[in-house]
Amino acid sequence: MAASSLNLLRYFYGGGERAPRKATKEALCSLLRRISSPSRRHCCSARVGTAAKEQSCLRSSDLVAIEYADLNLPNKASEELGHVRIRQHVNPLSSSFSVPARVPDWNEVFRDPTLPLMVDIGSGSGRFLMWLAKRNPGVRNYLGLEIRQKLVNRANLWIKELALSNVHFLFANATVSFNQLVSTYPGPLMLVSILCPDPHFKKRHHKRRVVQRPLVDSIVKNLMHGGQVFIQSDVLEVALDMRNQFDAEGDVLHHIDAFNQSLLCDSEGWILRNPMGIRTEREIHAELEGAKIYRRLYQKLI
């Protein structure tokens, strides 16, 4: 997909740089018609205000494929693992997830284990971290913690095929394993991300949410001075829950707008655009459905 086409999509769906001024709604719809599938359709015209004859249909998976096209993910993982059926919701309080993850040999996991580390809690398919790792070789390492084993297996096969030596994925319940893992890492912990975690909507299931006081305390304790915590959700209730817990650490964590005025926030303090350079898969899907993404970025005081 041409770069101009990718920028065009990102302009209308909230990610990346703005498209050229000449980009039109009709051009977007023409592009979407070329990449869309007749099944599971969504109407483009409702998003960009085109006439009915300019309606275009697409799936969120199409947008994910385009946004992550630079990865050129190989098919070998799919061939070895077969179709990866994913259970969307798991209970992290189950006894099967209560055993701490084994701490890996960091020298085997990363080429240089002294580099600053980013940890993504709930890394999903892993595309987000792989995209970052591919663009930052020799600069920092990336560790994905994911509670669904099949996703971890596939992600590690992908990074092996891509020959990436600065990213790794672990099957781990972050609530149980985060402190043990990051406290043994030889380099500094510079960034922790928790992006669109499982909302566990029912009140009696709120205790299953990943952002709980012990995890927050562990993140703050292990984070280097000047390190950051990036949280986001497409569910306002979940976003507020996470925000309240990290706002409570105001003696050591400040929101990024206190340090960097270039990151624009709305009137309620939510960051308007993803500062990481690319959207997560859930983010792409949610924005396609018209949902708002609620983002906060905290920095530990030096």
Residues with a known catalytic role: 198
Q: Give dist(CA 284, CA 63) in Å, integer.
A: 7
Q: Which two tokens stand for residue 66?
A: 């385009």
* C-alpha of 244 from chain center: 20
Residue 71 CA to residue 282 CA, distance in Å, equals: 18
Q: Which helix (H) or strand (E) segment is 274 a member of?
A: none
DSSP characters over 160-172? HHHT-SSEEEEE-
CA distance 39 to 149: 29
- Tell me the CA distances in angstroms from 118 to 34, 144, 157, 246, 279, one per residue in order: 37, 8, 20, 18, 16
Q: CA-to-CA distance for 106 and 187, rounded, in angstroms?
A: 10
Each residue of 24-52: b (16+ CB within 10 Å) or e? ebeebbebbeebbeeeeebebbebbebee
Pair of tokens at residue 240: 């507020």
Cβ 118 vs Cβ 187: under 8 Å: no
Question: Which residue shows structure tokens 């949280």?
Answer: 231
157-185 per-residue burial string, b: 16 or more CB within 10 A, e: under 16 = bbbeebebebbbbbbbbbbbbbbebbeeb
